[in-house]
């Protein structure tokens, strides 16, 4: 006897404004339960103490998570000068202290060093795997893992305010894999002091920002699933940088069956005018997303079929 599937086939994105002191996994679980969704996942972990944009994919939207994870992120963060911690944030144990308190001019003078493609050593307390084990597990065991450096991209970095001599608030726009905790650590070291991340808020992930976000409290206030689903964004919202390609119902049927579709007729030239070999496109039929496809050698091949 087949096992009954739990939850309903809910498809789309909920852009959650994650509250403080909640894990990303717990946040996904709360949204999934509230919408009675069968399947859910998130696009980019936020540390428990962090707040802000946590895109949650439901149903077929989980097939597009990688496109959001690869998108640009924007963060507001606060550095606490003079105190270093083992986790490089406010939740860690103090490992070093310094009397150094940089002024505005000094901070602004070093920020350019961190813009562009830079080498960054990730925090020991991170989910990166080393020899099959998570770095944070090794760190908790007292094994102090040696973290290999990686290249990350920081597009923008600016000082916003200095509420007091111990703190500075900055904004960063960065690419995939950037650790803001490591950035705070390195800025402090460049200024001849130590520091850690005392506050972190993510305000953008790819196409999603605070304008489309909803808090857990707001979601809970909409007690009925139908009301909560009003906040559900279409699956294709995550794919705004991918060109759309109109297909016929017959072509859509072929793609859904995993079959390639030839686009070699003269009538197809306008449809593929903006595509080059190897490009990814979103096949659309009657205003509905059908599949992510790859254009090559005069045909489109389904990469991810969306069962909507």
pLDDT digits (tens, 9 = 90+) for 74-104: 999 999 999 999 999 999 999 999 999 999 9
Catalytic residue among 17, 21, 47, 112: 47
Structure tokens given for 104: 């505005």
Separation CA 46–CA 48 (nearest Å): 6
List the CATH code of the domain at 73-203.
Answer: 3.30.2350.10
Domain 242-305: CATH superfamily, name plus number: PUA domain (2.30.130.10)
Class of the CATH domain delimited by 12-70+207-238: alpha beta
Say whether pLDDT at 1 is over 70.
Answer: no
E strand residue ranges, 206-243: 208-209, 214-215
CA nearest neighbour of 232 among 11, 8, 9: 11
Give the pairing type, strands 280-285 and 244-246. Answer: parallel
Phi-psi region of 224 (alpha: psi -120 to 50; beta: other; left: phi over 0): beta
| Model pTM score | 0.89
Give yes or no on whether 73-203 and 242-305 have one common fold: no
- Across the chain, mean pLDDT equals 90
Q: Is 70 a catalytic residue?
A: no
Separation CA 74–CA 56 (nearest Å): 17
Please report, for the chain, the start and end positions of each structural domain, with discontinuous segments joined by +.
Answer: 12-70+207-238, 73-203, 242-305
**DSSP symbols for 58-117:** EGGGGGGHHHHHTS-EEEEEEEEETEEETTSBTTSPEEEE------HHHHHHHGGGGSEE
What are the two backbone dihedrals, phi and then psi, of residue 159, each rounded to the nearest 5 degrees? -85, 125
Say whether pLDDT at 113 is over 50.
Answer: yes
Separation CA 250–CA 254 (nearest Å): 6
- 124 falls in which pLDDT band (50, 70, 90)? confident
Task: For residue range 253-294, list pLDDT tens digits in order.
Answer: 999 999 999 988 887 788 888 888 899 999 999 989 999 999
Task: For residue range 215-231, list pLDDT tens digits in order.
Answer: 998 888 875 666 667 78
């Amino acid at each position: 006897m087949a096992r009954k599937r739990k939850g309903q086939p809910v498809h789309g994105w909920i852009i959650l404004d994650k509250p403080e002191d909640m894990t990303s996994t717990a946040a996904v679980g709360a949204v999934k339960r509230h919408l009675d969704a069968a399947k859910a996942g998130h696009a980019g972990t936020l540390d428990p103490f962090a707040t802000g944009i946590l895109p949650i994919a439901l149903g077929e939207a989980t097939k597009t998570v990688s496109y959001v994870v690869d998108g640009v992120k924007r963060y507001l963060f606060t550095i606490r000068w003079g105190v270093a911690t083992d986790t490089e944030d406010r939740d860690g144990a103090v490992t070093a202290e310094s009397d150094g308190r940089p002024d505005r001019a000094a901070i602004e003078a070093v920020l350019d060093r961190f813009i562009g493609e830079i080498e960054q050593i990730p925090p020991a307390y991170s989910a990166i795997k080393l020899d099959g084990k998570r770095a944070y597990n090794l760190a908790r065991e007292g094994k102090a893992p040696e973290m290999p450096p990686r290249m990350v991209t920081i597009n923008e970095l600016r000082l916003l305010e200095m509420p007091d001599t111990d703190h500075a608030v900055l904004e960063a726009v960065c690419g995939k894999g950037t650790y803001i905790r490591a950035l705070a650590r390195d800025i402090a070291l460049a200024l001849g002091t130590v520091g850690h991340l005392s506050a972190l808020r993510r305000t953008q992930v790819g196409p999603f920002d605070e304008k489309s976000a909803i808090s857990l409290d707001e979601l809970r206030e909409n007690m009925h699933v139908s009301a909560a689903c009003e906040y559900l964004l279409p699956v294709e919202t995550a794919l705004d940088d991918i060109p759309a390609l109109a297909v016929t119902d017959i072509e859509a049927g072929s793609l859904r069956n995993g079959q390639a579709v030839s686009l070699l007729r003269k009538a197809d030239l306008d449809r593929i005018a903006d595509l080059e070999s190897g490009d990814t496109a979103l096949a659309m039929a009657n205003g509905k997303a059908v599949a992510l496809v790859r254009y090559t050698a005069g045909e489109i091949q389904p990469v991810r079929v969306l069962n909507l």
